[in-house]
Structures are given as C-alpha cells and as structure tokens.
Amino acid sequence: MSVGNKLLICFAFSALLIIGLGIDAIYNTHYLSAFRRLYPPHTLNNPSIIQLPKEKFYIAGCTSKYIYLGSYSLPFHLLRIDFSLKDSLSINLPIPKGNRLHGKTIKLQLDSPNIYLVDESNTTILSCPISNPDSLRYLPIKIRIPSLECKAISACSFIVRNADSSAKSAVLTKLSSNSIPTKVMSRNLLQKQIDGIFDTDGMLHFDQSLNQLVYVYFYRNQYIVMDTNLRVQCRGKTLDSNSKAKISVTYIPSDDETTMSMPPFSVNKLSAVDEDYLFIQSALMAVNEDKNAFRNNSAMDVYNLKKQLYEFSFYLPSTANNKMQSFKVSHQKLIALHGPYLEVYQINPGYLTRH
C-alpha cells in the first residue's frame, strides 16, 4: 500500500472519529444529564385501555366518576367515559346564536361543576353546568386579549397567559366576568431570559382541591406554584440542571414577527397536577437509565409541591408504537392518550401520601 493511500485511510478514520465524537457529544448534551432517577417497583397497577373513534382527542378534564375528552375536529363535541372505560356518552354542545368563535382556536375544559368553551384567539368564553350542556352561554368578559393559554379557576375567573407588548414578554393575567369586570396582570411572574415569549413558554395547571396554580417551563428546570391572585408561593426545580433556556430566536422584518431559528432544547415535555403532586414527562435521560428503556417509554417524574422535593419516577409504556400525546392525573389515577388509545392506570397509593 502506498504512503498516499495510508495517509488517505488515516485521514478518513480521523474524520469518522471526530464525527462520532461529535454525535456522541450532541447525544450526551440533549439526553444525558448528571442526575439519577428512583424507580420503585409496581408504581402503576390495573391498566385499562380502549381504542377511540377516528377523531383526534384531547383530555378536557375529569370528575370523580368520568373522563371528558374534547375533539380537535369537532370543537362542540365532548366524549364522556367512565374510569373503567366501559361506559361512554357523546355530548354535543349547542352552537350559540351569533357564533363569533374560531374553530381552530377553541378548546373545551372541564372544572366541575362546569364546562368551559374557550376561544383562545380573543378570550371569548362560554360556560354551562356539566348537568345541563344545552344551557351553554357567553360569559360577560369585556376585556379581549389574544391568549397563548387560558385556564378556568372558577365560574367567573380565568387565568390567561398572553404576550404583553409593553413588557415585550409573556405574562399571566387574571380576568373576571363578575358584574364589575377586572383585569389583574403579573408582569414579574414569568421570568424573561432571552426573548420573553419562547423562553417562558410552558404549561399552566389549576388544582381545584387546593385552589392553587402551577406553571411548568418547557425549556428550563423550573416550576412556579401560585395562589389564584397570582402571588408566588414557591419556585421549584426539577431534577436536571438546565436553569437557562437553550433556544435561538430570529426576527423576520417582512412578517414583523419573531420565530425560533432552530429546534429548542426541551426539558419538560408534558405535565399534570393532582393535589400536592406534580407529574412531569421529562425529555432528559438520567445517568442510571437504559437508553432503550428511555426511548421506548415516557419517563415520568413525580414532585411533592408542598415539600418542594422530588419523590420518584416511573415509566409509562408506549402503546402500539404510539408515543404519549397528553395525560392527566385525577384521584390517584393516571389518564393518558397514546394516539387513538385511551388508557387509565391506578397509581400505587403507597407512593402518594395525601395531606
């Protein structure tokens, strides 16, 4: 073999080695973090599963007896299913007269004893009792703001996450439909790191039993617990060490908008609350996890909000190669949607201490 060929082979080998190290570095940066998870045995018991009709569903809410699913394609339709997944009922809400709603931005949510239909494009809200869906009516909210998210906390009060032009950041706002409409804005609650909109993106939850709000960031290891007047009770941290959002944004002058210029580094994918407990589907693999187990399941971390402590983790398996799209925890039961499949698990009560 000539010297030239030997040099070429050495160069090719070196290049492959550098590429391999680069891929390994990217993998370690995105999936591995210097923390460990605790996986106690038999966390989930008694699974039930059914295949849903063809429409795409989301979990609108739960009562002590029933799960309510909303439909992306049929915004005025609810599917009620009992926790055994054996009994179901279709509920069609009446389309109100003078309909001024935009179908693509309508979301149904249930907070017993009421059903709320929210148009997030302009915070138009309709409501009716669960027991009387035909009484659906507009609520007299006179303050109209485009929202990124809207959450009902009572029959006449709502928390909205919206973009504040003066602060150039996302904020949380409390709206009221009382006889005297009110608007209370908290500008310092969501903490800006880069652009104030994408870096503060996250998930808003309300726990009715404790009358408290929880906000979980997508791109950093933080969550916020608040009362219903948007006063911070505590700021907690998740297992990993990603305290700053790793995102890149670009301003497009022709469209006068800012957008992400590359895929963001996700920390928390999905989340839910049930009384004192916060459940988070993590995007990051721990150092003591098997790569295949992490890829083929949803890694769920459980935090005690009262103690501000990590408690334990468990895997939620994929169903028929469908990844989890959404989940909710209610009365120690975990409800999950995997593509067209609805699943209900009983969480081992020995791991959740009620206060």
Range of the domain at 86: 31-351
Annotate 86-126 with DSSP letters as a single string: --EEEEEPPPPTT----GGGEEEEEETTEEEEEETTTTEEE
Instruction: Report how far apart the first and last C-alpha atoms of the chain are (Å, whole number).
Output: 76
What is the C-alpha to C-alpha distance for residues 283 and 245, in angstroms, rounded to an integer?
14
CATH number at residue 57: 2.120.10.30
Which pLDDT tens digit goes with each residue over 50-97? Answer: 999 887 999 999 999 999 999 998 999 999 999 999 999 999 999 877
In-domain check, residue 10: no
- Whether residue 5 is predicted with pLDDT greater than 90 in this model: the reply is no
- Per the CB < 8 A criterion, the answer to whether 117 and 93 are in contact is yes
In-domain check, residue 138: yes
Tell me how crowded residue 290 is: count the other CB atoms within 10 A of its CB.
Answer: 10
**At a CB cut-off of 8 Å and minimum separation 6, what does 157 contact?**
174, 175, 176, 177, 228
Structural domains in the chain (count): 1
In-domain check, residue 302: yes
Which pLDDT tens digit goes with each residue over 293-327? Answer: 999 999 999 999 999 999 999 999 999 999 999 99
Tell me how crowded residue 263 is: count the other CB atoms within 10 A of its CB.
Answer: 9
For residue 317, the cross-strand partners are: 297
In-domain check, residue 22: no
pLDDT at 301 (0 to 100): 98
What's the whole-number average pLDDT of the chain?
86
| Token pair for 310 | 């990590």
In-domain check, residue 4: no
In-domain check, residue 9: no
Residue 16 phi/psi, 5-degree rounding, is: -65, -40
In-domain check, residue 271: yes
| Token pair for 342 | 């609805």
Which pLDDT tens digit goes with each residue over 133-168? Answer: 999 988 877 666 678 899 999 988 999 998 887 777
- Per the CB < 8 A criterion, the answer to whether 345 and 67 are in contact is no
- Write the Ramachandran bin of 211: left for phi over 0, alpha for psi from -120 to 50, otherwise beta: left
In-domain check, residue 299: yes
- Per the CB < 8 A criterion, the answer to whether 105 and 120 are in contact is yes
Closest CA to 250 of 259, 262, 241: 259
